[in-house]
């Protein structure tokens, strides 16, 4: 399972690779025999991740590179590209995954808004733009996976800055894949990973035990590899509580707010809550 989707690839770079979904991706790719570059903030977490991933690789530490990286800095991303090229001589796959979630409100802390947009939106855009020219110029197969969120599609209340960033990520990923498929002879593809509820340091919110509803990062990566093999662009992940059918209903209702001229976020509006419940049963 999954390996067939990555047969042409030898070197993968994962931003935000020291924890959560990113670390699960690094471990799975290393176990498959790929050389893996873990890009994340400097510190003990990055060092520990490098040791863990090396233990998963049949080639050990020779197949793993840890690069301290700030995705909010184009200078740092350019240094990452150079470091990977110097170590492995090629880059085949990039997972633009780094994200933060300090919380936000419409009139909340402006620094939180700035940090979320710098990392979760501009950091994703700049990561892809840093690596994509080399992937395209190689002339061979290439893979770009961009980690989005259902919050960027149905934009639930509670964390507007995160929603804004992830909505932008969705639009950017769509634009990247459209660009790639219209390049004659280009074998590079882009894909949007849309996780469900995943138990990671980003989603723990002080909890110490995984909620029953949540998937593990490993389940998310297994699902991602299955859907990459199938050729999906939108890799819409379920979890232990939300099925694809329920996701589809929620997404269609959100789009219907525009078509039906309902209030925004009508799913949470008292005047439309009953209609939404009926819609779910159709």
- Per the structure block, which two tokens stand in for 74? 């184009």
- Per the structure block, which two tokens stand in for 18? 């020291």
Number of domains in the chain: 2
Residue 2: the pLDDT is 46
3-state secondary structure of 143: strand
Residue 227: the pLDDT is 98
What CATH number corresponds to the domain at position 142?
A: 3.40.50.720
247/205 same-domain check: no
The yes-or-no answer on residue 234 being catalytic is no
Q: What is the pTM of this model?
A: 0.95
* Beta-strand pair 35-40/11-15: parallel
Q: Is 86 exposed, middle or buried (0-12, 13-18, 19+ CB in 10 A)?
A: exposed
163/53 same-domain check: yes
Taking the CB of residue 190, how many other CB atoms lie within 10 A of it? 25
Residue pLDDT, tens place only, 14-68: 999 999 999 999 999 999 999 999 999 999 999 999 999 999 999 999 999 999 9
81/41 same-domain check: yes
* CB-CB contact of 115 with 159 (8 Å): no
107/14 same-domain check: yes
Look up the domain containing 105 and give its range.
3-241
227/281 same-domain check: no
Contacts of 27 (CB under 8 A, 6+ apart): 52, 53, 56, 218
198/277 same-domain check: no
171/235 same-domain check: yes
255/180 same-domain check: no
Residue pLDDT, tens place only, 177-203: 999 999 999 999 999 999 999 998 777
156/268 same-domain check: no
User: Does 236 have pLDDT greater than 90?
Assistant: yes
60/121 same-domain check: yes
* Residue among 131, 162, 215, 223 flagged as catalytic: 162
62/175 same-domain check: yes
- Report the share of the chain in percent with pLDDT over 90: 93
276/172 same-domain check: no
- Per the structure block, which two tokens stand in for 76? 């740092």
Residue pLDDT, tens place only, 146-172: 999 999 999 999 999 999 999 999 999
> CA geometry: angle at 48 spanning 43 and 51, to 5°?
135
Half-sphere exposure of 141 (CA within 13 A, CB side): 8
């Amino acid at each position: 399972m999954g390996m067939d989707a990555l047969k042409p690839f030898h070197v993968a770079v994962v931003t935000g690779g020291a924890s959560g979904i990113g670390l699960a991706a690094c471990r799975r790719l290393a176990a498959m025999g790929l050389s893996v570059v873990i890009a994340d903030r400097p510190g003990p977490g990055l060092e520990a991740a490098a040791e863990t991933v090396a233990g998963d690789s049949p080639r050990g530490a020779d197949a793993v590179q840890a690069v301290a990286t700030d995705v909010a800095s184009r200078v740092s991303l350019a240094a990452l590209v150079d470091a990977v090229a110097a170590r492995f001589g090629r880059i085949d796959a990039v997972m633009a995954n780094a994200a933060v979630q300090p919380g936000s409100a419409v009139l909340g802390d402006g620094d939180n808004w700035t940090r979320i947009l710098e990392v979760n939106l501009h950091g994703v855009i700049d990561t892809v733009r840093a690596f994509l020219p080399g992937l395209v110029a190689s002339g061979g197969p290439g893979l770009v996976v961009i980690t989005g969120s259902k919050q960027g599609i149905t934009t639930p209340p509670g964390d507007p800055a995160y929603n804004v960033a992830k909505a932008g990520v969705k639009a950017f990923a769509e634009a990247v894949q459209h660009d790639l498929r219209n390049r004659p002879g280009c074998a590079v593809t882009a894909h949007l990973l849309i996780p469900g509820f995943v138990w990671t340091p980003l989603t723990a919110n002080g909890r110490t035990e995984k909620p029953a509803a949540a998937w593990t990062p490993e389940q998310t990566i297994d699902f991602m590899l299955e859907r990459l093999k199938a050729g999906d662009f939108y890799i819409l992940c379920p979890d232990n509580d939300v099925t694809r059918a329920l996701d589809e209903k929620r997404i269609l209702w959100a789009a219907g707010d525009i078509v039906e001229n309902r209030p925004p976020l009508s799913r949470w509006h008292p005047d439309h809550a009953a209609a939404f419940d009926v819609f779910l049963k159709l």
